[in-house]
Chains A and B, each alone.
Chain A
Amino acid sequence: MHYLDHAATTPVLPEVVTAVAETLGAVGNPSSLHGSGRRARRIIEESREQLAATVGARPSEVIFTAGGTESDNLAVKGIYWARNQADPRRRRIIASAIEHHAVLDAVQWLAEYQGAEIVWLPVDKFGRVAPSALRAALAEAPDTAALVTVMWANNEVGTIEPIAELAAVAREFGVPLHTDAVQAVGAVPVDFAASGVDALTLTGHKLGGPYGAGALLLRREVDCVPLLHGGGQERDVRSGTLDVAGIVGLATATRLAVEHQPDYAARTDALRARLVDGIRTEVCDVVVNGHSDHRLPGIAHVTFPGCEGDSLLMLLDARGIECATGSACAAGLAQPSHVLLAMGAGKAMARGSLRFSLGRSSTEADVDAVVEAIAPAVERARKAGLTSVRG
């Protein structure tokens, strides 16, 4: 089996498994006042300090959540509500057109049910947002902007956004900026304070940690209305008994990922080059999507003209090669990727793509297996044609 879908999720690091298992066996609610509670609380706070140090944040800026989707929802809705309450004119949400669905759908929900107005920031054909576009959007009516949300790095094509520049523009206008950095942390250098962003989403299972453990880094001075009400465990912004083992796993995994980030980047980048060169040799008319320089090291997003991504995925899966079409939905139904459409691709091109994503456990053998299998798979998939795409 050759696993090339690390952007979906990546194996949990052995050190993390050990740390989680050790913690999971001990009783103690971090909010309890007795000895067991204090022991659990100490683990939480040490994890918080460790995570903060790893990503350039202060411990008080770390809000533990149940993962990326929750962090994105909390930031987008919570900051919108707080800003809108403080000044009802603030109804505009400025978002890039290539956000993950956890942001995209949250923003659309606010527009549909809460009176928000969405300003979509376009991307160029490489998937990059221009800081000048953000400036124009903010300058148009600065008093009506509630928040800006632009992801650090795109999960489908791997393009890295000019986050520090965007944050500087938002700061000029006094509008908070949230970034979904789920794919970025551990893959490229991420420093919360230095980036100038106001809120940052990260999650454990994309970098060797457990599922269901994530965090929102939120600057102290940014108000955020909670999604979940209850015990107020996390700065009164997030309630729910803290998942001690999950948080230990998250902090341990993030520390290890960030420590090894330069090696990881160099290794996956070399593997990616081998993969892309190999595919290009086997199938001459492929298009490699995303930015050639500003990109995640481990993602290769490739369009195979005349093929349906679904067909290719199935043929490769039958050969033990696991990748993604780069688009997902509750029903497992392929929709043309909104990311590629935003980058200007046609519907057929948007459906004819595969995402190969490499990780810590990837090897040359994984890459070579793809290169060996790709030409016959493409030939078959072309014969099968774009069955469901007309016109």
Chain B
Amino acid sequence: MRILAAMSGGVDSAVAAARAVDAGHDVTGVHLALSQTPDALRSGSRGCCTIEDSNDARRAADVLGIPFYIWDLADRFAEDVVEDFVAEYAAGRTPNPCLRCNEKIKFAAVLDRAIALGFDAVVTGHHARLVDGQLSRSVDSGKDQSYVLAVLTPEQLSHAMFPLGDSTKAEVRAEAAARGLAVADKPDSHDICFISDGDTRGFLSRRLGAEPGAIVDAESGAVLGEHEGSFGFTVGQRRGLNITRPAPDGEPRYVLKIEPVANKVVVGPAHLLDVDEVHAMRPVWTTQRREADFDCSVQLRAHGMVSPAQVQVEGETVVARLSTPQRGIAAGQALVMYDGDRVIGSATITAAHLHSAVSA
């Protein structure tokens, strides 16, 4: 097959491309230029999108002996990922930009272009498996990325290849070293690639403008402090709250709710974060559409805990009832449904609460 290898300049995508070559495919490497102002050198926590990263990708392609090009998708990325990220925070939700990038860029803009140019599939270095065409977790549970791929449709998955899912990260690094790829010991990328200094709140306040507001205690209604803009917070967050007065009960406070219109951040003790009913919208089914209620396990954030749950599907909404409560579930994150290691589908979380509290 003619395969397009998306090469970030990291070790995973380099080894994924190498395995596609070994499998006998006709592979072409492409580095996606996603930043409108690429820095020359890596800085901070970023692991892609700099000129140094594109050079690393080029060197890996040289070693593999495959053609290599750079595709400029900076405008699309800015529009579909960065703007979406800012708008979601402005609306009081917590988006996952990696998931959005997979949905809108890697397996949409790039895949569409690849297919049009005569390629059969796109190979990436994601740690996930396709078992009989069904998206499944990586054997390396610590590196599993099936959560951020769960937004892909069967059509998108039918043109995807994830050759790393049967390997651990350590095995991938060892293989890269054995293949003579210089990126073998390149550090993993962390955080959000388009926020080079890792300061998400600073990035958002530059984009949305600082607007001081109150931090309010959910139980007593007391104002415990001030914030610079409600968008800078995530449900479940404890650090950096800038609470100037202790809460009446003396317990630590966590973000429970963000009210962007009132520019209010509601905080409370840890136990108020517990939820066991999660509402989500716009389900995407990675195989066939589900209509009836079913039992499965759900994951509510990247690298989050997995809970057994009963799922109810009503048109474009999904309600998951967790068998044990989870803490700090933020709207905007994905509800991903698993059958064992296999991904059933995903939906975007709109609300979460404690069922017993609602019915009480």
Contact = CB atoms under 8 A, between A and B. Distances in A.
B67 A311 contact: no
A318 B67 contact: yes
Nearest to A313: B69
Contacts of B58: 332
B80 to A, nearest CB: 10
Contact of A387 (B38, B70, B76): B76
Interface in B38-97: 38, 40, 51, 54, 58, 67, 69-76, 79
B67 A384 contact: no
Interface string A277-310: 0000000000000000000000000000000001
B116 interface: yes
A380 interface: yes
B162 to A, nearest CB: 23
A52 interface: no
B113 A384 contact: yes
A387 B109 contact: yes
Contacts of A318: 28, 67
Interface residues of B, number: 23
Nearest to B77: A388
Given A331-B38, A334-B72, A387 B112 contact: yes
Given A330-B51, A332-B58, A387-B109, A314 B28 contact: yes
A334 B30 CA distance: 13
A310 B51 contact: no
A311 B38 contact: no
Contacts of A380: 116-118
B76 A384 contact: no
A171 interface: no
Interface string A110-147: 00000000000000000000000000000000000000
Given A314-B28, A390-B75, A390-B76, A385 B113 contact: yes
B42 to A, nearest CB: 14
A385 B116 contact: yes
B117 A315 contact: yes
Contacts of B69: 310, 313-314, 332
Interface in A321-342: 330-334
Contacts of B28: 314, 318
A389 interface: yes
B6 interface: no
Interface residues on A, range: 20 to 34
A317 interface: yes
Contacts of B54: 331-333
Nearest to A331: B51
Interface in B98-133: 109, 112-113, 116-118
A171 B117 CA distance: 53
A314 B28 CA distance: 10
A381 interface: yes
Given A317-B67, A318-B67, A333 B72 contact: yes
Given A311-B113, A317-B67, A380-B118, A333 B33 contact: yes
A383 interface: yes
Given A330-B51, A331-B33, A388 B72 contact: yes
A313 B71 CA distance: 12
Contacts of B112: 384, 387
Contacts of B70: 331-334
A330 to B, nearest CB: 6
Contacts of A389: 75
B56 to A, nearest CB: 12
A352 to B, nearest CB: 13
Contacts of B75: 388-390
Contacts of A311: 113, 117
Given A318-B67, A332-B58, A388 B74 contact: yes
Contacts of B67: 314, 317-318
Contacts of A314: 28, 67, 69, 117
Which of A313, A332, A389 is most buried by chain B, counting CB atoms within 10 A of its CB? Answer: A332
A384 B76 CA distance: 15
A385 B118 CA distance: 13
Which of B54, B69, B73, B113 is most buried by chain A, counting CB atoms within 10 A of its CB? Answer: B113
Interface in B295-351: none
Nearest to B53: A331
A388 B116 contact: no
A390 B78 CA distance: 12
Nearest to A317: B67
A330 B79 CA distance: 24
Given A317-B67, A331-B51, A310 B72 contact: yes
A189 B76 CA distance: 46
Nearest to B51: A331
A277 to B, nearest CB: 27
A179 B54 CA distance: 34
B71 A384 contact: no
B125 to A, nearest CB: 20
B33 A387 contact: no
A349 to B, nearest CB: 16
A315 B28 CA distance: 11
22 contacts: A310-B69, A310-B71, A310-B72, A313-B69, A314-B67, A315-B118, A331-B70, A332-B58, A332-B69, A332-B70, A333-B33, A333-B70, A380-B116, A383-B117, A384-B112, A384-B113, A384-B116, A387-B76, A387-B109, A387-B113, A388-B75, A390-B79
| Across the A-B interface, the 7 shortest Cβ-Cβ residue pairs | A384-B116, A383-B116, A332-B70, A384-B113, A331-B51, A387-B113, A388-B72
Given A330-B51, A384-B116, 11 more contacts: A310-B69, A310-B71, A313-B69, A314-B28, A318-B67, A331-B33, A384-B112, A385-B113, A388-B76, A390-B75, A390-B79
